[in-house]
Amino acid sequence: MYLTQRFTILVWRRSKRQSGDTGTISLDRTAHLPDTAWRTIRNGHNGARKVHLIYKIARSDKRRGRIFMRNGTGQFRLRPGTIAIAAACIALSGAEALAQAKPDIRIGTGRQAGTYYRMGALIADALVRDGVVKSATAESSSGAIESSRLVDKGTLQIAGMDRFWVQRAAKGVKPYTKVIKLYTIMPMMRAGMFFVVPAESKIKTISDLKGQRVSVGARGSGMANHAVLILGGMGITFKDIKPVYLSFGPGARAVKDGKAATQLQCCVPNGAMTQLSELKKVRIIAMEKDLAKIRAAQPSYGVYTLRKGAFKGHNQDSKVLSILQGWMGSTSMKPEVAYTYAKTVLKHLPAMAKKMPQFKEAIAMLAEVKASNSTAPIEIGAKVHPGSLKALKEAGYLK
């Protein structure tokens, strides 16, 4: 049921004469009305009921069964003994109508306490505090693959993903069983990927991982699939190693306790990596000589400089693999939803970067957008949503 651009509310006062008067409400947009609106208005004769309208009354009768504004707040009251019926539509309370105009945004992230989850939670909090959504939550998932499938189903509105899986989703190739088309809503970060081992480990290169217990991420997660691709680029399959399917926190503990020889890590600083380096002397496996070979097999990967001090014990800049990551949405997402999400992220990026340094990567990527007047630096395997483009232009990143 929808409110049209302009309609008339008929107001009857229950009396012997059943006389009636009319008033007109002008609307500046279409708003969705639930079927319960009819019951809310129809039961007005049972007693005094406040009806909150977000639109001004152009004309109202002052004699019988009137609807009137109180204190200029847009709050109206149906007097006892009145029934209001809209011609072809039902007038809905403004609080409900306003709520209908605001979206629910569920953000697919990763495992709880992980980087994706914490970033998503900060964004959800900003959306709620700004009052631009009915609700916003960061939803834990096994990672990008599950989140993107849930976005396609409409269960989630946003999925934290990296470029590789966005591209595979668009083609409908393994691990996907169907084509999933996505838009980039906002950039997340440019993340480094590497293997971490105890400092005393005899493992020096990726080739040394054969026969070793390798923590690759949760089963079915994006990280586990990245492990397949990275090792595959070096001619190593999961049959050549002993894969240990653990998410970041448990995987890091397995390395600390000697239950895994190494862990594929990403997106530092993160809690799991920080805690591991605090409790045990660790280092990364040298990758620089292998980067060209891996990237030749998987061009989606880039090169990232893991800076000295990224975690305790990392005492020099090192070249590792990188992958672009972003907040993705379905191609069916309404422009106003993408706009709301993008505008809120852009507004709160500096504050969020103080809480999580990963957001600094998004700030750097957006600076490239502004310098080039192009969205290419933040296209995470998919074009930027039109609603996000509007937000970027308003914020001065695009001309």
- Indicate the CATH number for domain 103-188+325-394: 3.40.190.10
- 103-188+325-394 and 190-324 share one CATH topology? yes
Mean pLDDT of 281-288: 96
Please, are residues 24 and 6 in contact by the beta-carbon 8 Å criterion?
yes
CB atoms within 10 A of CB 104: 12
Question: Cα 253–257–261 angle (5° rounding)?
Answer: 85
Q: Which two tokens stand for residue 363?
A: 């700030």
CB-based contacts of 354, cutoff 8 Å, min separation 6 = none
Mean pLDDT of 100-106: 87
Rg (C-alpha) for the chain, rounded Å, is 27
Mean pLDDT of 54-74: 33
What pTM did the predictor assign?
A: 0.70
Q: How far apart are CA 254 and CA 355, in angstroms?
A: 28
Q: How confident is the model at residue 13 (pLDDT cuts 50, 70, 90)?
A: very low
**Comparison of pLDDT for 150 and 55, the residue scoring more:** 150
357-399 per-position pLDDT tens digit: 999 999 999 999 999 999 999 999 999 999 999 999 999 999 9
> What pLDDT does 100 receive?
53
Q: How far apart are CA 338 and CA 182, in angstroms?
A: 12
At residue 57, what is the residue type? Answer: I
Q: How far apart are CA 325 and CA 162, in angstroms?
A: 4
Mean pLDDT of 63-67: 34
Please, are residues 314 and 308 in contact by the beta-carbon 8 Å criterion?
yes
Contacts of 165-168 with C-beta under 8 Å, sequence gap 24+, read: 165/222, 165/225, 165/381, 166/326, 166/328, 166/380, 166/381, 166/382, 167/300, 167/381
Q: How far apart are CA 82 and CA 129, in angstroms?
A: 38
Residue for token digits 């008929």? Answer: 10
> Which of the residue ranges 34-38, 101-105, 252-256, 266-270 would you say has the lowest mean pLDDT?
34-38
- Mean pLDDT value across the chain: 80
Q: How confident is the model at residue 241 (pLDDT cuts 50, 70, 90)?
A: very high
According to DSSP, residue 375 is labeled S
Q: How far apart are CA 180 and CA 150, in angstroms?
A: 10
Query: Which residue stretches of 257-301 are H helix?
Result: 271-279, 291-297
How many residues are listed for the chain in this entry?
399
Mean pLDDT of 200-215: 97
For the chain, domain boundaries: 6-99, 103-188+325-394, 190-324
CATH topology of domain 190-324: D-Maltodextrin-Binding Protein; domain 2 (3.40.190)
> What pLDDT does 101 receive?
80
Q: Which two tokens stand for residue 314?
A: 């990392």
> What pLDDT does 1 receive?
29
Please, are residues 215 and 262 in contact by the beta-carbon 8 Å criterion?
yes
Please, are residues 187 and 391 in contact by the beta-carbon 8 Å criterion?
no
Residue for token digits 């979206």? Answer: 103
Query: Which residue stretches of 280-324 are H helix?
Result: 291-297
Q: How far apart are CA 379 and CA 385, in angstroms?
A: 10
Determine if residue 71 is left, alpha or beta; phi over 0 gives left, psi from -120 to 50 gives alpha, anything else beta.
left
**Comparison of pLDDT for 35 and 231, the residue scoring more:** 231
HSE at residue 40, side-chain half, CA atoms within 13 A, is 19
Residue for token digits 């001309």? Answer: 399
Residue for token digits 């709520």? Answer: 99
